Amino acid sequence: MNEAATIQAGLQAAIRQLRRDGMPDYTDTGRVIAAAMLQLHDSEVERLLGYFLDRDCRLIEVEELSVGGLHGLVYDKYLPARRAALHGACHAVFAHCHPNGDPTPSPEDREAADTLDSQLAAVGCMVLRHMVIASNGVADIRTGHIVRLEDLVDHDPTETTPGPRCPHCGGALTS
Ligand SMILES: [Zn+2]
């Protein structure tokens, strides 16, 4: 690598570092859910998002890995692992939406989550969570646990402002 290329690489690394420092810490489950809700709650088709995180669970990149129809997703099953490796991600969170409003994970969802777990493990990336986002709530695919939106608002420890809340992300509404 010549000097110019080294400087370029350094600059890019610095920009990347800055960007990551400005990003939320995704060890907080509530934040991951809120971010995914914001991006997926009003989608009319199924979409799969991958959140690629560094060693400290800070966000490196969010990528849309697949866009599907009303009932299902088709995607290159090796793509998430390739993207994780490209980003140097140590952790990942996957979220897809159910446009029908019901977040209950399907058998296919659980199967896909298992596949993603083993494929990402092969590139040194641990999947923290697989989520289904729907207008009625958020489901954790591994545990089958479903959190309704109303409950999500109460569980957010960072929110102390009284008053109206956004029905989608639970954030305080100010006018
Ligand atoms: Zn699903």
CA distance 4 to 9: 9
- Give the pLDDT score at 154: 53
Ligand 1 centre to CA of 128 (Å) is 17
Cα of 132 to ligand 1 centre, how many Å? 6
The CATH fold of domain 25-155: Cytidine Deaminase; domain 2 (3.40.140)
- Of the candidate ranges 16-25, 50-59, 76-85, the one whose mean pLDDT is the lowest: 16-25
pTM of the model: 0.71
CA of 27 to the centre of ligand 1 (A): 23
**Span from the CA of 152 to the centroid of ligand 1 (angstroms):** 20
Q: Report pLDDT for 2.
A: 83
Average pLDDT over residues 52-73: 81
Closest alpha carbon to 127 in 74, 65, 77, 57? 57
Return the CA Rg of the chain: 17
